[in-house]
């Protein structure tokens, strides 16, 4: 039975590429996303076409028991979850305080912070019993710096970062590696940045900054870093890491 890499938030960007990378290393990648069955099927079929193992499920993390049931299903029917990647964003766009409803603010927290807490509540006891496990959490610049119009997103990402620190403090000594990965820049991802900008503007950005210019973060290269984190020896575990393109100023220099 192969070890499982469970990816919550598996689009065509970071999540899908992480699934592909881990599957190539012998994992059974379980890809979960909220919608777009066709896109999910294409990701799974692409991994299988390379001769590797993958499964795909639609998952809405804000639904009661959805996360808990998914973890139970994977552990029972596919295999032990050795790595979980929490890759869900909580970006609702720039909104002034007056334009941010209670519902919108709370939704960011439910996706960005509560969802991770629920994953940890399910998986940490299992990983602790096995004495091993890795939790890789994708985060954003907003976890470090709250800008105007980012009330919901910054609160969710800041909470996510602190939750990772608390999980690390409790479960690191028990053999569970918790890593918080700050994506400090624009990712060349059609499912996220592409949808935010629209197809025409996204393509123009790729031509001016991406592709051979390496000014946009490449999801496949991000996936290499996620695999590296999961393979680190515990004498040199990384808890927090930030990634950005060579041409971008880091968050602390803005």
Q: Which residues of the chain have pLDDT under 70?
A: none
To 10 degrees, what angle do helices 115-130 and 66-77 make? 30
Residue 194 lies in a domain: no
Report yes or no: 154 and 106 within 8 Å, Cβ to Cβ. Answer: no
- pLDDT value for 88: 94
Residue 19 lies in a domain: yes
- pLDDT value for 90: 85
Helix (H, G, I), strand (E, B) or coil at 144: coil
Residue 13 lies in a domain: yes
CATH number at residue 238: 3.40.50.720
- pLDDT value for 212: 86
* pLDDT 10s digits, 74-99: 999 999 999 999 999 888 888 999 99
Residue 251 lies in a domain: no
Residue 203 lies in a domain: no
- pLDDT value for 85: 98
Domain interval for residue 159 = 4-188+218-245
Counting the structural domains of the chain, the total is 1
Q: What does the CA dihedral 171, 174, 175, 176 come to, rounded to 10 degrees?
A: -20
Q: Starting from the edge strand earliest in sequence, which strands make up the sheet with 28-33, in order?
A: 53-58, 28-33, 4-8, 81-86, 133-140, 176-183, 240-243
The model carries a pTM of: 0.94
- pLDDT value for 207: 81
Residue 82 lies in a domain: yes
The end-to-end CA distance of the chain, in Å, is 48
221: exposed, middle or buried (C-beta count within 10 Å: 0-12, 13-18, 19+)? middle
- pLDDT value for 202: 76
Residue 133 lies in a domain: yes
- pLDDT value for 193: 73
Residue 41 lies in a domain: yes
């Amino acid at each position: 039975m192969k070890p499982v890499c469970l990816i919550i938030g598996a689009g065509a960007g970071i999540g899908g590429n992480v699934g592909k990378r881990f599957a190539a290393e012998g994992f059974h990648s379980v890809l979960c996303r909220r919608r777009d069955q066709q896109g999910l099927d294409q990701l799974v079929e692409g991994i299988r076409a390379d001769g590797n193992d993958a499964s795909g499920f639609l998952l809405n993390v804000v639904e009661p028991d959805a996360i808990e049931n998914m973890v139970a299903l994977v552990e029972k029917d596919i295999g032990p979850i050795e790595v979980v990647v929490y890759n869900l964003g909580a970006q609702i766009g720039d909104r002034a305080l007056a334009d941010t409803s209670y519902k919108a603010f709370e939704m960011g927290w439910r996706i960005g912070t509560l969802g991770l807490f629920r994953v940890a509540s399910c998986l940490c006891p299992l990983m602790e019993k096995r004495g091993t496990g890795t939790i890789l959490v994708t985060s954003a610049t907003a976890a470090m710096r709250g800008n105007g119009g980012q009330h919901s997103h910054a609160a969710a990402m800041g909470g996510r970062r602190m939750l990772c620190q608390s999980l690390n403090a409790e479960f690191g000594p028990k053999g569970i590696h918790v890593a918080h990965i700050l994506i400090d820049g624009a990712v060349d991802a059609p499912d996220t940045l592409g949808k935010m900008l629209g197809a025409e503007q996204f393509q123009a950005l790729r031509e001016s900054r991406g592709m051979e210019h390496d000014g946009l973060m490449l999801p496949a290269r991000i996936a290499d870093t996620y695999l590296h984190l999961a393979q680190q020896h515990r004498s040199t575990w990384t808890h927090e890491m930030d990634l950005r393109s060579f041409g971008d100023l880091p968050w602390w220099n803005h």
